[in-house]
Structure 1
Amino acid sequence: MTDGTPPGLPDGPVLAVDVGGTKLAAALVTPAGRVGAAEWTATPPGGGAEEIWTALAALVARVLGRGGGVAPAGVGAGCGGPMAWPAGVVSPLNMPGWRDFPLRERLAGLCPGVPVRVHNDAVCLAVAEHWRGAGRGSAHMLGMVVSTGVGGGLILGGRLVDGGTGNAGHIGHMVVEPGGPPCGCGGHGCLEAVARGPGLAGWALEQGWTPGAGGPPPGRYAEADAATGRRLAADAAAGDEIARAAFARAGRALGVAIASATHLCDLDVVTIGGGLSQAGDLLFGPLRAALADHARMDFARRLRVVPAALGQDAGLIGAAALVLAADRYWTATGRDL
């Protein structure tokens, strides 16, 4: 190879797939991490297993067609969990139509003869930020997503850490408030229960928040009375005290969880992406204050917490890295996949 690609890694583009509860996306991603021929479509609302798969397969066909019909060097996919890993049998909580759905097997049927790898979508986002984003150059990093849920992926020694079942880095279920609100996992006081968008909005409503005090939120979610995280952020930015308190509560919980993770893993950097991260200092201010209070060991004070850098392309870039940078982001456990 003459382009600097390490031996054994692809020197051509791979097909990347990002499966979400509201949107399906696919693209061809080059070994340099550049996204091309990208396409997306809405996830069929309430769709059954085959309806969702048909939409995804059609999307993949369009992307491959835009690539001139040349077979990709591999396929990487990110999808919500839980899943059987590395087999890629998925049951995403936000897609009831897929239960024990053989996503990897189906993708392999579309692209036979090449590696096909599926991982948690939050892991893919973390991998993307480490490979080509805000965590580039760090050997010890936690990548986080704070949105409808809270998830993450853990890089130690420059490599993705999967854990025994592929769930390492799942910071969303670190307990930050013992005896706190119930979580979808069955526990109480998890970071996700406190800091996820719907949880924030629900807490604010209980405190007396009336959505809409700050005028219509930006973008397509423009209904003034919609009790969403986006609506809450708009009201907080406009000065609504309850909305600001909700973000302060979430930021403190994130800071406590990150301090604990840093003491455990001796991290260099934490990157935070997802919809709620767009709230800026409303979230990051309380987060950094809580981190300063709780990360008191000298080695932990060097930690940097920064916004994620790759935006909407992160899921696709991270999925592609499962193949394009497999020496760092795909373990020997699944090496034959």
Structure 2
Amino acid sequence: MTDLVLALDFGGTKIAAALVDADGAVVRSARVPTPAADVWDAVVSLVSSVVGGSEVSGVGIGSAGPLDAVAGTVSPINVPSWQAFPLRSSVASLFPGVRVELAGDGVCMALGEHWRGAGRGCAHMVGLVVSTGVGGGLVLNGRSFGGRTGNAGHIGHVVVEPDGLPCTCGGRGCVETVASGPRMVAWARRAGWRAPDGADAALLAAAALAGEEVPLAAFERAGAAVGMAIAGAAAVCDLELAVVGGGVAQAGELLFEPVRRALKAHAGLSYLAGLEVRAAELGGEAGLVGAAALVRSELV
């Protein structure tokens, strides 16, 4: 039996696949943009290109949600053609007799950072991906925790502005409406930031680093929202660490400084005195490494 595991990371903007060895190292990987149509065909093609003639001992799948980990179905908000799509059984049909596991992409990010990244040695942590959306996952007592349906830790939909803007989840004022890259750019434009068409969070960060007032305020808002959400999650779950990754987090202290200020203001309970925030270490590989961990029983 081989020690290689196939890991899949499915999202609204990209699909990634990798072969991951027993030490959590990515041996071979590839990614493609998530197409508007024929999504499953794209998954099959990508899997074929990555696996080639290799034998795999298991398949771990991390997917954008919502999902139902019990039924093995996914309903990603940004992939309208996939509603209650049977992703686990569809992938299993490609690998008869091989163990296949499914979890949310935030859970996989947290598990990957716990296994091989910034969360090594930490038993109680939350992992956050702050990017085109805001996702998250929990590791409790050293094991991934998906909750009843597999969606536990979805910190992007903690409410931080009760009278805030509508969110894609159907609520209002979620962290995602303040701290996701596209929402930050949209807020900055409304506040008077003059930017070219197609401006993204990276351009916003460059403007903030150059000292522009509105982009700086956008990162202040985003960091405060993320910090408040971490404080709430930590209070509920008795956490010791938050690991933050994703495209927006690549702005470094532009985001992390206001996050820490928000924690100082909102994480006041005595048992949260040692709560830390760290930057993710695995980058785009965190979800793949965590997906691979799903089929290694000693890690989950």
Q: Give TM class, smaller chain.
A: over 0.9
Q: TM-score, normalised by structure 2?
A: 0.96
1:98-153 CA-to-partner distances (Å, cap 9, x unmatched) read: 22221111111111101111111111111100111100100100111111111111
Question: What does 1:270-309 align with in structure 2 at a 5 Å threshold?
Answer: 270-309=242-281
- 2:165 aligns with 181
Matched, 1:191 2:175: yes
Partner Cα distance (1:259, 1:84) in 2: 27
Partner Cα distance (1:280, 1:189) in 2: 24
1:32-88 CA-to-partner distances (Å, cap 9, x unmatched) read: 1011121222322x21xxx221121111112221xxx24310100111111221332
Residue 249 of structure 1, aligned match among 221, 225, 230: 221
Number of equivalenced pairs = 300
- 1:221 aligns with none
Partner Cα distance (1:241, 1:132) in 2: 37
- 1:37 aligns with 28
- 1:4 aligns with none
Matched, 1:81 2:65: yes
- 1:217 aligns with none
What's the secondary structure of 2:41's corresponding residue?
helix
Which consecutive aligned stretches of 4+ in structure 1 deviate over 3 angstroms post-superposition?
none
Partner Cα distance (1:233, 1:38) in 2: 29
Deviation at 1:11, TM superposition (A): 6.5
What's the secondary structure of 2:273's corresponding residue?
helix
Q: Cα RMSD (Å) of the superposition?
A: 1.5
Which has more radius of gyration? Answer: 1
Larger deviation, residues 92-101 vs 23-32:
92-101
Deviation at 1:249, TM superposition (A): 0.6
Partner Cα distance (1:275, 1:86) in 2: 30
Question: What does 1:207-246 align with in structure 2 at a 5 Å threshold?
Answer: 207-211=191-195, 224-246=196-218
- 2:12 aligns with 21
Partner Cα distance (1:178, 1:43) in 2: 32
- 1:266 aligns with 238
1:149-188 CA-to-partner distances (Å, cap 9, x unmatched) read: 1111111111112211111111111111221222111111
Letter in 2 for 1:136: R
Percent of residue pairs identical: 54
* Structure 2 gap ranges (5+): none
1:8-31 CA-to-partner distances (Å, cap 9, x unmatched) read: xx8611111111223221111111
Partner Cα distance (1:167, 1:302) in 2: 26
What's the secondary structure of 2:93's corresponding residue?
helix
Partner Cα distance (1:201, 1:299) in 2: 36
Preserved CA contact (<8 Å) 2:106 2:153:
no
* Structure 1 gap ranges (5+): 1-9, 212-223, 330-337
- 2:189 aligns with 205
1:221-265 CA-to-partner distances (Å, cap 9, x unmatched) read: xxx442322221121111110000010011111111111222222
1:199-221 CA-to-partner distances (Å, cap 9, x unmatched) read: 1111111111111xxxxxxxxxx
Question: What does 1:132-211 align with in structure 2 at a 5 Å threshold?
Answer: 132-211=116-195
Q: TM-score, normalised by structure 1?
A: 0.85
- 2:76 aligns with 92
- 2:47 aligns with 60
Partner Cα distance (1:43, 1:260) in 2: 33
Letter in 2 for 1:108: A
Matched, 1:127 2:118: no
Letter in 2 for 1:205: R
What's the secondary structure of 2:127's corresponding residue?
strand
Partner Cα distance (1:12, 1:131) in 2: 16
